[in-house]
Amino acid sequence: MSHGWIVVNHFYSSPKFDELHTWLERSAERAGLDARLITNAEVQPTLAHSTPDWVLFWDKDVHMARRIEATGVRCFNSAAAIEACDDKYFTYVSLLDSTVAQPETWLVPLRFTPVQWHDEPIVDEAIAALGLPLVAKESFGSFGAQVHLMHSREDLVAWLDQLGNRAGLLQKFVEAAAGRDLRLQVVGSEVVSTIERTAADGEFRANLTHGGTARTITPTEAQREAALKASAHLGLDFAGVDLLIDADGTPVVCEVNSNAHFVNMSRTTGVDIGDAIMAYIREQTTSA
């Protein structure tokens, strides 16, 4: 029996994540895989006396994933793919030479100390290019917590002022998709399930964490193609791809998640995404 690790973060735990980790362990067992749950803090001492056949790296500790890959062990997803998804601007730049549509995006320039933005020309230049309202995001974050809609110059300046020296980006607002998006779960070369998420009243983010609701849908061929192309272009084994639908029906890639939290999506669709991921790992490690 193939022996592997499911690597999770040692320093972050909650009932929501504990449930996900248990789900992954059970999916591995159903797939006939011998999987050991360990944390990123346990990787190095464990490597000193044991090397797995494969690793499901369910964390964003890119350097630790690279440490594992240096032993010749394959990580699902790879360190490079996780890194490309974790930084939202890195995702945008990585997809620029693909054929998938994305919202026009500006990077907030690097600062080593906090900046007072009121008199910075880039504020007005960004508004002229992207229009208002526009979407402001921190480059790192999950569940839509660091995503905000800027309705005015004053809103944007206030957001930039509180950003400090953290990385951020500004995006053109896809008005036709306000309060609605699609999450397509890709495993290998297949879209295994899709949900449409609708935001709560008064909220533009459709994330379930912010009160959104979800229903199962069948994606169009264009939507499937956009999700598969984005996932493949970023080198992902599996991904949750978030799409916005523009006024002309074009699917626009909003974000790509290397380790999307799939429990609620599995319950909504009836498709066990954990089982799909573990079946894929079994197939890949058996044929290797």
Structural domains in the chain, CATH included, are 3-77 (3.40.50.2300), 84-101+176-272 (3.30.470.20), 105-173 (3.30.1490.20)
Integer-rounded Cα radius of gyration of the chain: 20
Output phi, psi for 190, to 5 deg: -130, 145
One digit per residue, the tens of pLDDT, for the chain of length 288 reads 679 999 999 998 899 999 999 999 999 999 999 999 999 999 999 999 999 999 999 999 999 999 999 999 999 999 999 999 999 999 999 999 999 999 999 999 999 988 999 999 999 999 999 999 999 999 998 766 789 999 999 999 999 999 999 999 999 999 999 989 999 999 999 999 999 999 876 556 555 565 678 999 999 999 999 999 999 999 999 999 999 999 999 999 999 999 999 999 999 999 999 999 999 999 999 865
* pTM (2 d.p.): 0.93
- Report d(CA 239, CA 77) in Å as an integer: 9
Q: According to the model, what pLDDT value does residue 114 have? A: 86
Q: According to the model, what pLDDT value does residue 202 have? A: 59
Output phi, psi for 108, to 5 deg: -75, 120
Q: According to the model, what pLDDT value does residue 211 have? A: 62
- Report d(CA 265, CA 279) in Å as an integer: 18
Q: According to the model, what pLDDT value does residue 206 have? A: 54
User: What is residue 125's three-state secondary structure?
Assistant: helix
Q: According to the model, what pLDDT value does residue 145 have? A: 72
Torsion of CA 109, 94, 195, 26, to 10 degrees: -110
